[in-house]
Amino acid sequence: MALSGITKKMENSSIAEVIKYEGDNETFIWKHPCEDFNTGSQLIVHESQEAVFYMNGQALDIFTAGRHTLETQNLPLVRKFFNAPTGGQTPFHCEIYFVNKTEQLEIKWGTDSKLEYVEPTYGFPIQIGASGAMALRVDDSAKLLIKVVGTEKGISQQGFVNKMRAFLMTRIKAHLSAYIKREKINIFEIDEHLVTISEALHGLYKPDFTDYGVSMERFFVTAIVKPEEDGNYRRFKELHFRQYADVAEAKLRQQTGLIDQETQKQKMILEAEGMATKRQLEGYSYQDERGFDVAERVAQNEAVGAMTNTGMGLGMMAGVGMGVGGAVGGAVGGMVKNTMGDAFGGIQQSQTTPQTTPSQATSLCTNCNNQLPKGAKFCLECGQPVISENEMICPSCNTKTPKGKFCLECGTSMVKKCSECNTEIPPNGKFCLECGHKF
């Protein structure tokens, strides 16, 4: 007998076969091509798999990881006997389905049409799309085989998604729009909520997939497709951006203004500290410096003559103040003298305030007894108006008037009389000539 004939005879009379998984990792269920195998055949199941044994159209058992010996009614010695009435076909049909129990990651999904709803924040209609990924795992092998696979040779990731597509798209649109409206999620801030949206949809989908023997381990919404070409969307997007940009810009201007003010303040402080240090090193104070400034301005106007006129002007103001009190005039005059003396350090005073010598003096001030130069109209010491021998000061209106019995300004009597004996008193008299009463 030829060798090929011997080999064929041995294959036909073989008692056991080896049945193992030969698919890939992207398959949920794979049917082994070997059918009607003999008793004693070896079934090898990997750690991440289950094997469902079908006999005569019924799922009789599920085999977990390990090596298993299969027993059927297909006995080699009686095969011809059983096959003869059925035209060579065994009446005992056997099949093995391998189920991948691993968690199938990165199963893509995406909406095939736009989801339309009313934006909850701004209230305008909008159309969006969504896409993402999910992770599925076979939880009940028999349920998945009966409800989804049926008599097919298996099902892959893509095949399962295609079968579930209508179910998936209907639920995703209803669940997603309802969740966005319920939570009032702003379309322009929706990317910040992708995690919470994913978790919410995962909780809603999980029971639906369990009915088909599949466990949804994870569900992710990775992108929300916005209608960038829609004019309404662009207009509201600009408004949304401006409300934050304007506030940020106002805060920035406020902070910049505060920084500028603080910088100017620190600059003024440093300048003041520098000037104070300079004065201290040069031996004078701020009051001294202000006195120098006053003296310099006065000297720039009319030099010595202007200083004299200034003193006279102040003296006139003090004279007008006699109505209030003679002490005010004296204080003003003394202030003029002290200020000018401090400003010029005692040097320029001889230039601005001439000292009256006895040979030049013609009279004395009636207020402070200071010697007055010839022709003086105001006292350089106290600022009082100078009264000549032929003039008097009216006690009523404080006006300088010629000597006489009545004031030419207000008509008040200018004759002094003793309050005791009513005798007329000379202008400079201090005692009554008649009774000796002191005034």
How many CA atoms does the CB half-sphere of 35 hold within 13 Å? Answer: 14
User: Residue 96 in contact with residue 32, Cβ under 8 Å?
Assistant: yes
Give CA–CA dist 393/402, Å, rounded: 9
Structure tokens belonging to residue 272? 């003041």
Structure tokens belonging to residue 169? 């798209």
Nearest Cα residue to 115 out of 169, 186, 42, 196: 169
Give CA–CA dist 280/275, Å, rounded: 9
Indicate whether 217 belongs to any domain: yes
User: Residue 213 in contact with residue 139, Cβ under 8 Å?
Assistant: yes
Indicate whether 291 belongs to any domain: no
Nearest Cα residue to 170 out of 108, 111, 109: 111
pLDDT score, position 75: 38
- Tokens 């720039």 belong to 300
* Cα dihedral 346→349→354→355 (10° resolution): -20
Residues 77, 120, single domain; the answer is: no
Residues 190, 126, single domain; the answer is: yes
DSSP designation for 428: T
Nearest Cα residue to 32 out of 153, 137, 196, 157: 153
pLDDT score, position 372: 75
Per the structure, the complete domain to which residue 354 belongs is given by 302-425
pLDDT score, position 390: 72
Q: Is 130 helix (H, G, I), strand (E, B) or coil?
A: strand
DSSP designation for 195: H
User: Residue 134 in contact with residue 218, Cβ under 8 Å?
Assistant: yes
The last residue of a domain, from among 83, 100, 117: 100
Q: What is the CATH number of the domain that holds 160?
A: 3.30.479.30
The number of beta carbons lying within 10 Å of the beta carbon of residue 186 is 14
Residues 89, 132, single domain; the answer is: no
User: Residue 36 in contact with residue 90, Cβ under 8 Å?
Assistant: yes
The last residue of a domain, from among 85, 100, 115: 100
Per-residue pLDDT reduced to its tens digit, 238-279? 888 887 777 777 888 888 888 888 888 888 888 888 888 888
Residues 86, 110, single domain; the answer is: no
User: Residue 348 in contact with residue 283, Cβ under 8 Å?
Assistant: no
Indicate whether 258 belongs to any domain: no
Structure tokens belonging to residue 221? 């919404």
Q: Is 146 helix (H, G, I), strand (E, B) or coil?
A: helix
Residues of 46-58 as b/e, b for ≥16 C-beta within 10 angstroms?
Answer: eeebbbbbbbeee
- Tokens 């076909």 belong to 89
Residues 79, 109, single domain; the answer is: no
The last residue of a domain, from among 227, 245, 260: 227
Indicate whether 7 belongs to any domain: no
Residues 350, 373, single domain; the answer is: yes
Indicate whether 214 belongs to any domain: yes
pLDDT score, position 12: 47
Indicate whether 246 belongs to any domain: no
In the predicted model, residues of the chain with pLDDT beneath 70 are 1-16, 71-92, 301-362, 388-389, 427-429, 439
Q: How many domains is the chain partitioned into structurally?
A: 3
Indicate whether 279 belongs to any domain: no
* DSSP letter for each residue of 37-77: PPTTEEEEE-TTEEEEEEETTEEEEEE-SEEEEE--S--GG
Give CA–CA dist 194/183, Å, rounded: 13
User: Residue 102 in contact with residue 27, Cβ under 8 Å?
Assistant: no
Residues 82, 172, single domain; the answer is: no
Q: Is 368 helix (H, G, I), strand (E, B) or coil?
A: coil
Give CA–CA dist 419/112, Å, rounded: 125
Task: Please give the helix or strand (H or E) that residue 102 lies within, else none.
Answer: none
Residues 195, 306, single domain; the answer is: no
Residues 395, 314, single domain; the answer is: yes
pLDDT score, position 306: 47
Residues 125, 92, single domain; the answer is: no
